[in-house]
A and B are shown apart, each in its own frame.
Chain A
Amino acid sequence: MFKIYLFSILLLFGLHSFCRAELIRVYAAADLQYALKEIADLYQREHPEDKVELIFGSSGKGAAQIKAGAPYHLFFSADMKYAEELYKEGYLVTKPKPYAVGRIVVWVRKDSGLDPSKFPQILLEAKKIAIANWEHAPYGRAAKEVLQNYEVFDRVKDKLVLGENVSQAASFVYSGAAEVGIIPLSHAISENMKKVGTYFLIPENKHSPIVQGYGITEAGKNLKGVKKFYEFVLSPKAREILKKYGFMVPGEK
């Protein structure tokens, strides 16, 4: 029994070591779920020697994990604040650069019978509204601002279902658990969600601009691949992908 055990453990360790190529480990805000995946795929096609590993979650959680010592090489925040905070405390080694500006939408399933363009009335009709937790998700913060600017926050706050990050909030509406979701435009135009839902783009002036910044972490500072990918994100090809997912990119209108 012991022998078999030891053997299988050794075997597993052996197999595991094969899996490690040149690794670029990226923590990214969940709104980048689709866009960054496509950018990473493109990058890996051009640089087969590197492997980009993506971990998505809320910006706040990512910042907290980096402070606690998470081995991420790059950090893509959904705002500038978290990135700058990390930079100031020495966890990021490059000054945070903006790479995209995001927009938010009101999203419903087509089969819900709701019309997202009737905003904000639609919120009063819905039983549950999914948004990301504004405590640590910048898109949640923007969604909250929208609700406040339309002066409905107090009336709907009991209906809010908070996702840990925007992806979770999106999955709440996608699965039908909530009727209405205030989610990133990038999610709304992903293939998955486009098929089953419709959305209404919330006017830019109803929330402060969602300027997203990124940087290289302490753990990633001496890695060549990390530097390459860091630069690749600002390349024209990558910017095209970001634009395709509804982001505005710095320096363009």
Chain B
Amino acid sequence: MHEINWLPFWLTIKLASITTFLLLLIGILLSYYLAYNRHKINTIIEALLSLPLVLPPTVLGFYLLILFNKQGLIGTLWYKIFNKQLVFHFEGLVVASVIYSLPMMVHPLTAGFRSVPKNLIEASFTLGKSRLETLIRVILPNMKASILTGIVLSFAHTVGEFGVAVMVGGNIEGETRVVSIAIYSAVESMDYKTAHIYALILFFMSFLTLLALYFLNKKWKPYDKA
């Protein structure tokens, strides 16, 4: 009988978890800067950050491939530091996913930072608390819904990516063959059964995550507004 290979799922969940975790750190820093600083350059940064939303993933994938390969700027640097290739490796996929899903984290977080009343932050400052402590104890707890939105959207977006993954990662089992690529491969090799099973699981997984998001968002709204 037909055996289902779960490796692509593990890989996808691993990729999405690591990507989301990194994005959370990067997103908090970037969004904090964007929300509380007004420079002319911010407009340019925000436009750049939104690029992955409108660019065809293959365009992004193409440029990342060029940057990441052995001769590429980032690829060479990475090779020097870690003695490892970036393209066609899991790490490369992580870096590409972080870039690809960046707007999914930065947009909700920036909105979240802006929704926290300024005088809460000033109150914390006058109570002797540093920027960092204010961030952790006052700002972040009062934008839980935005953080959750960012996490869920980044995770889902990473799970769903294909174009970038296929360009930068190729299709290597256990390394870069994520579910979306596995579905494509299965269809290509006329293995519709596997494709069906993967696709259905992905469908319900996405639906349930979004359901949970909407549910929690409703529940947390009052605190975010206060």
Contact = CB atoms under 8 A, between A and B. Distances in A.
Contact between chain A and chain B defined by CB under 8 Å: yes
Interface residues of A, number: 30
B199 interface: no
A148 interface: no
Given A12-B17, A68-B87, A70-B88, A57 B171 contact: yes
B121 interface: no
Nearest to A13: B14
A68 B88 contact: yes
A71 B190 contact: no
B189 interface: yes
Nearest to A54: B173
Nearest to B72: A68
6 contacts: A9-B18, A12-B17, A55-B171, A55-B173, A68-B87, A71-B85
B89 A33 contact: no
Interface of B: 7, 10, 13-14, 17-18, 20-21, 65, 69-70, 75, 85, 87-89, 170-175, 185, 187-190
A45 B33 CA distance: 58
A192 interface: yes
A193 B21 contact: no
A68 B187 contact: no
A61 B99 CA distance: 24
A167 interface: yes
Contacts of A174: 190
A15 B17 CA distance: 14
A167 B171 CA distance: 15
Interface string A169-206: 01100100000000000000000110000000000000
